[in-house]
Amino acid sequence: MPYMSLLKDFLGKVGEGYLLLDSEGRVLLANDFLLKRGLISQVSEEIAYYQCLKNLTAISCVAEALSEKRESYCQFSHEECEYALFAFPGGELCIVRITDVTEFKRYERSKRHFVANVSHELKTPLAVLQSILETLYDEEENPQKRNFLEKALRRVDELNRLVRDLLILTKLESGEERLRPERIGLCSLVEEVFELFESQASSMQVSMENKVPEGFSVFADPEKLFLLLKNLVDNGIKYNKVGGKLTISAYEDGRFSIISVEDSGIGIPKEHIPFVFERFYRVDDSRSRDLGGTGLGLSIVKHIALSHGGKVDLSSKEGEGSVFRVYLPLGG
Ligand SMILES: Nc1ncnc2c1ncn2[C@@H]1O[C@H](COP(=O)(O)OP(=O)(O)OP(=O)(O)O)[C@@H](O)[C@H]1O
Ligand SMILES: [Mg+2]
């Protein structure tokens, strides 16, 4: 290839690893970064990627990209460093990029610790504040002062929820939260969640329908699954229209139990869909704040699904409604 030597020179100067493969997986080019970091052994002619790459996770990630002819991504550790690998197959070639993410991971961990510590430290003063305000409220007879105290108590309640959600999220993200999965009857769990939201739904005249087949079960941690459904149902009512509908159904596809939560609400504009699972992301800030939302609910949903080895996806149409699908491995 005429541009190969230019490419080789260029890739020799960049601070990340590049491996260029042909469609059979033979190495056409490997830059110095990979050798210096000990990620590959010396490359000789006609050598295949699995003969020179030293990490097994990296090898199976590249294998997946080549065999399924689609992009593949993984993270792995090697000699005290952490790396992210992205394999991009196309036509006759496959480009593999390996980036050092050690610093980024360290930063993420310290951010998580900071948030966890601050949230933890806030728990006790909030509990004290709440009990003082409750006592004052109970003893107060002046209606105007009672009104102030009621407002203050509502704010404390919001703060309590924020601290609770941040702590759950941090534990889920770090893998610290231990799951206790078991076989659960989904139909009755959905009924329990619906009972919790009865008055919220009726104040919006939203009808809730449980279409989970009788006897349908999933393998999951009951407490976490309850929390996941609670967040999706809360959103399905909160972001619905007056007189709207919320339906939960479930089915299996051979690999996953799929729980679908569908609403006929305001929907989510296309450009916001990729971000709604991020912490504190809200489509309409003022509307969500008025509704008492902090923007952590969907992040919790995502991490509960991930911690079960599953995932969540979302399809939505602005003005028409949304469908959240939770995939849980069949397991157990
Ligand atoms: N079913 C839905 N229909 C329309 N918009 C939704 C729906 N679910 C979530 N959203 C949008 O996504 C944003 C993020 O949702 P998320 O549940 O994470 O936060 P929240 O509901 O604002 O607060 P929290 O759940 O922490 O109380 C919401 O603010 C809302 O804009
Ligand atoms: Mg929510």
pLDDT of residue 274: 87
CA gap 188, 217 in Å, rounded:
10
CA gap 156, 161 in Å, rounded:
9
Q: Where are the alpha helices (DSSP H) in 239-296?
A: 285-290
Residue among 73, 69, 75 at smallest CA distance from 91 = 69
Q: How many CB atoms lie within 10 A of CB 44?
A: 9
**Domains of the chain, each with CATH number or no CATH:** 4-100 (3.30.450.20), 104-174 (1.10.287.130), 182-329 (3.30.565.10)
Mean pLDDT of 270-275: 90
88-98 pLDDT, tens digit each = 998 889 999 99
Q: Mutation test of ligand 1: which of 276, 278, 317 has the most ligand atoms closer than 8 Å to its C-beta?
A: 276
Mean pLDDT of 196-208: 96
> Which strand ranges, in their side-by-side order, compose the sheet holding 245-252?
207-210, 245-252, 256-263, 321-329, 311-317
The answer to whether the pTM exceeds 0.85 is no
pLDDT of residue 178: 86
More confident site: 291 or 300: 300
Torsion of CA 269, 270, 272, 273, to 10 degrees: 120
Backbone angles phi, psi at 307, to 5 degrees: -70, -15
Q: Is the CB of 297 under 6 A from ligand 1?
A: yes
Cα distance from N-terminal residue to C-terminal residue, the chain:
52
CA gap 52, 40 in Å, rounded:
5
pLDDT of residue 1: 62
pLDDT of residue 154: 93
Nearest atom in ligand 1 to the alpha carbon of residue 266 is 4
Asked if 66 contacts 130 with a C-beta cutoff of 8 angstroms, the reply is no
> Ligand 1 centre from 41 Cα, in Å?
49
167-183 pLDDT, tens digit each = 999 889 888 888 999 99
**Average per-residue pLDDT in the chain?**
92
Write the burial class of residue 217 (CB in 10 Å: 0-12 exposed, 13-18 middle, 19+ buried). middle
Beta strand 17-22 pairing with 72-78: unpaired
CA gap 109, 165 in Å, rounded:
18
Mean pLDDT of 235-249: 97
Q: Is the CB of 268 under 6 A from ligand 1?
A: yes
The model's confidence at residue 288, banded by pLDDT at 50, 70 and 90, is: low
Q: Answer whether residue 264 shows pLDDT above 80.
A: yes
The model's confidence at residue 289, banded by pLDDT at 50, 70 and 90, is: low
Q: Answer whether residue 299 shows pLDDT above 90.
A: yes
pLDDT of residue 2: 67
Mean pLDDT of 207-217: 96
112-167 pLDDT, tens digit each = 889 889 998 999 999 999 999 999 999 999 999 999 999 999 999 989 999 999 99
Q: Answer whether residue 332 shows pLDDT above 80.
A: no
The H or E element that residue 94 is part of is strand 93-100
Q: Answer whether residue 61 shows pLDDT above 70.
A: yes
Q: Is the CB of 293 under 6 A from ligand 1?
A: yes
Distances (CA, A) of 218 to 76, 124, 190, 191, 329: 30, 37, 12, 15, 9
Among 3-7, 13-17, 26-30, which is the least confidently predicted range?
Answer: 3-7
pLDDT of residue 51: 94
The model's confidence at residue 86, banded by pLDDT at 50, 70 and 90, is: very high
Q: Mutation test of ligand 1: which of 278, 284, 288 has the most ligand atoms closer than 8 Å to its C-beta?
A: 288
Q: Is the CB of 257 under 6 A from ligand 1?
A: no
Distances (CA, A) of 153 to 125, 130, 143, 196: 14, 7, 15, 21
The model's confidence at residue 186, banded by pLDDT at 50, 70 and 90, is: very high
pLDDT of residue 285: 72
pLDDT of residue 5: 83
The SS3 call for residue 219 is strand
Q: Where are the alpha helices (DSSP H) in the chain?
A: 4-13, 32-36, 49-52, 56-68, 102-139, 143-174, 186-196, 198-203, 222-238, 285-290, 297-307
191 pairs with which residues across the strands?
A: none
Residue nearest to atom 10 of ligand 1 (CA): 235
pLDDT of residue 301: 97
pLDDT of residue 287: 67
